[in-house]
Amino acid sequence: MSDCIFCKIAMKEIPAKVVYEDEHILAFHDIQPAAPSHVLVIPKEHIPSMAQLEEHHKVLIGHIHLAIQDIAVKLGIHETGYRIVNNCGEQGGQTVHHLHFHLLGGRHMQWPPG
């Protein structure tokens, strides 16, 4: 997707502070952190949101979550705990329409979320 900001980050057309990368996924610090640690984990493939996931994405989604475990260790939040958030669609609060998981840590999280 030529006008997608996260595709541009994945293709290194826009800079980002990358914390993890492999063939299929990229993780980078959120530009407006909502917690002391706030990383976004995205597939390199342009998938608009969770609502467009297909059967063949099963492995990719599992891969993202295992990578999040490693990234949490790297960020030093593995022991203290963290939150994984996916905002899906308008009422879910999604603003960037390229699938991403927020990894948030470094402070106590509130519940219910806003």
According to CB under 6 A, which residues from 71 to 90 bind ligand 5GP?
87
> Does 2 participate in binding ligand 5GP (rule CB under 6 A)?
no
CA 61 from chain centre, in angstroms, equals 11
Pick the closest to residue 38 from 83, 98, 99, 6 (CA basis).
83
> Does 11 participate in binding Zn ion (rule CB under 5 A)?
no
The count of residues interacting with Zn ion (CB under 5 A) is 6
Residue number with CB closer to ligand 5GP (28 or 82): 28
Stretch that binds ligand 5GP, among 22-30, 50-58, 63-71, 74-82 (CB under 6 A): 22-30
CA-to-CA separations, 58 to 45, 54, 74, in angstroms, rounded: 13, 8, 25
Tell me whether residue 97 is one of the annotated catalytic residues: no
Q: What angle do CA 9, 12, 18 make, to 5 degrees?
A: 70
